[in-house]
Amino acid sequence: MARKPAPESALERFLRYVKIDTQSREGCEEVPSTDKQLVLANLLRRELVEMGARARLDRHGYVLATIPSTLPPGHPARGRVPRIGLVAHMDTSPSAPGAGVRPQVRTYRGGDIRLANGVVIRARENPELARNKGKTIVTSDGTTLLGADDKAGVAAIMTLAEELLRVRSLPHGEVRIAFTPDEEVGNGTKFLDLRAFGAEVAYTVDGEAAGELNQETFSADAATITVHGRSIHPGMAKGVMVNALRALADVIVRLPRDMAPETTDGREPFIHPHHAEGEEARATLELLLRDFETPGLARQRRILERVLGEVRSLHPKTRIELEVKESYRNMRDGIAREPRVAQALEEATRRAGLQPRWVPIRGGTDGSRLTAMGLPTPNVFGGGQNFHGPMEWLSVEGLEKSLATLRNLMTVWVELSTPPRARTAPRVRRRAPAPTR
Ligand SMILES: [Zn+2]
């Protein structure tokens, strides 16, 4: 009799998915920004259907799938467990080569890891490596990124889906899956149809080291300063020319140096000039404003206004405009509205044998936008490190712990949704999430 092949492990899936180039492209309003992301999207849809999930690929390249609940009629949690969404992004960052990824699986023996091209993953700069001594890790060959961001998340979710649909003995509510394109270029949720997705709570699996959880991101605005000057042939410019570039330079030198990304970390805010262009007649400066506390953004705006006031008096013939647009908001407050979302994740992580650590993200995630749209979405680790470059690496144990945490989430949510009198399983400890400061 032919034996059924053994189910594919999360690592095996990961190694298959990273070999598919899914790099997204900056500055493209269409989603997906690159057609090659559809190669993985089509493959995932087909694999989900083969597992027995209901799955479809929509016209913007989002893969949406449903795994039905296994709670039998009469189960006390039936009809009470929220539909849990699991989200990962398929694209890889445009900031490093993403084609021809050759994953290297090795046992980490300690010390620095030397790859091709003189790329070195230094033990000193990677404290997580020490925790992986004697364990299996994956790197690229040094010529490309690895793509653990976020194919670790894709692999963990796919492995869980296969397991839930094959085993069917684990009681769980309905699971909704979304694989998104273009997260790395800021469009991961742009065309995500929340009604079609249908989740009531969600988790992005797009984080880093095992045990690290995120429910806080920056609150972010984008500022543009435009200086208008007056251009004339420099040979007859005396008393006439008004050089916008000089005024713009005076703006830049007045920006607070102790509030820059290169001088801050942890929970400290920053004002970051990241793009300037122009000529005598007109010059613009684009800045990122970032603070974990949303009111801090108004303070940053006042700092910019004060700087512009000084520069206007130095260059009275210029006209200087400031425009500030909202980018995204810290998801902490949105997630706190449904405390069970973070509580369940913390408990699921603990049951995977890890000490959960809530780490603030100095950036945004797809979860920031989903939370703002009303779907509370904290972020779960996938086991990868050093995203967006050739020094990226994956802890295979971290990936397996990510899968275990997702599996535990299913159980914890059933327990949390069971009315107290009907509970037979040990109660989930109801306690506030660990402090993030
Ligand atoms: Zn990512």
Question: Residues 19-71: pLDDT tens digits?
Answer: 999 999 998 889 999 999 999 999 999 999 999 999 999 999 999 999 999 99
Q: What pLDDT sits at residue 5? A: 73
Whether 434 shows a pLDDT value over 60: the answer reads no
- For residues 207 and 214, is the Cβ–Cβ distance under 8 A? yes
The pLDDT, as a whole number, for residue 4 is 66
Q: pLDDT band at 431, cuts 50/70/90?
A: low
Task: Examine the pLDDT at 432 and tell me if it is beyond 60.
Answer: no
Question: Is residue 44 classed as helix, strand or coil in its secondary structure?
Answer: helix
Positions of E strands within 17-151: 54-57, 63-67, 84-89, 104-107, 113-114, 120-121, 136-139
Band of residue 365 on the pLDDT scale cut at 50, 70, 90? confident
Active site residue 50: no
Mean pLDDT confidence for 104-125: 94
C-alpha distances (whole Å) from 165 to each of 18, 158, 269, 280, 304 are: 24, 11, 45, 64, 55
**91, 216, 291, 366: the active-site residue:** 91
Instruction: Report pLDDT for 6.
Output: 82
Percent of the chain with pLDDT over 90: 89
Distance CA 435, CA 437 (A): 6
Q: Is the pLDDT of residue 93 over 80?
A: yes
Report pLDDT for 202: 98
For residue 182, is the peptide bond before it cis, meaning its omega torsion is within 30 degrees of 0? no
- Give the pLDDT score at 427: 53
Contact present, 187 and 327 (Cβ < 8 Å): no
What pLDDT was estimated at residue 437?
40
Q: Which residue has the tokens 């007109």?
A: 282
Q: pLDDT band at 363, cuts 50/70/90? A: confident
What rounded mean pLDDT belongs to the chain? Answer: 94
Calpha distance 179→98 (Å, rounded) = 18
Confidence at 14, pLDDT banded by 50, 70, 90: very high
Q: What residue type is assigned to position 378 of the chain? A: P
Measure 206 CA to ligand 1 centroid, in angstroms. Answer: 5
Residue 430 clears pLDDT 80, i.e. is over it: no
425 CA → ligand 1 middle, Å:
35
Q: So what's the pLDDT on residue 429?
A: 54
Q: What is the mean pLDDT of residues 115-135?
A: 94
The HSE-up count of residue 242 (CA atoms within 13 Å, CB side) is 15
Q: How far, CA to CA in Å, does 394 sit from each of 90, 150, 174, 347?
A: 16, 11, 30, 24
pTM of the model: 0.86
pLDDT in tens, 382-413: 999 999 999 999 999 999 999 999 999 999 99
Helix (H) or strand (E) holding 342: helix 340-351
What residues are neighbours of ligand 1 (ion), with CB under 5 Å? 149-150, 206
**Per-residue pLDDT for 436 more than 50?**
no
Percentages helix, strand, coil for the chain, rounded to the nearest 5? 35, 20, 45
Which of 150, 162, 183, 346 is catalytic? The answer is 183
Helix (H), strand (E) counts: the chain: 11, 18
| Cβ-based neighbours of 60, under 8 Å, separated by 6 or more | 31, 32, 181, 190, 191
- The pLDDT of residue 121: 97
* CA–centroid distance, residue 138 to ligand 1 (Å): 17
Question: In 3-state terms, what secondary structure has residue 221?
Answer: strand
Distance 154 CA to ligand 1 centre (A): 10
Ligand 1 center to 236 CA (angstroms)? 54
CA dist 383 and 405 (Å) reads 12
Residue 3's pLDDT is 62
Tell me the CA–centroid distance for residue 162 and ligand 1, in Å.
22
Known catalytic residue at 338? no
Cα–Cα distance measured from residue 218 to residue 332, given in angstroms and rounded to the nearest whole number: 10
Q: Copy the structure tokens of residue 234.
A: 């420099």
Q: Which amino acid is at 316?
A: P
**pLDDT tier at 186, thresholds 50, 70, 90:** confident
In sequence order, the 6+-apart residues with CB closer than 8 A to the CB of 163 are: 7, 170, 407
Ligand 1 centroid – CA 89 distance (Å): 7
Average confidence (pLDDT) over 142-161: 97
Average pLDDT over every residue of 79-102:
96
CA of residue 150 to ligand 1 center, whole Å: 5
Spacing, Cα 99 to ligand 1 middle (Å): 17
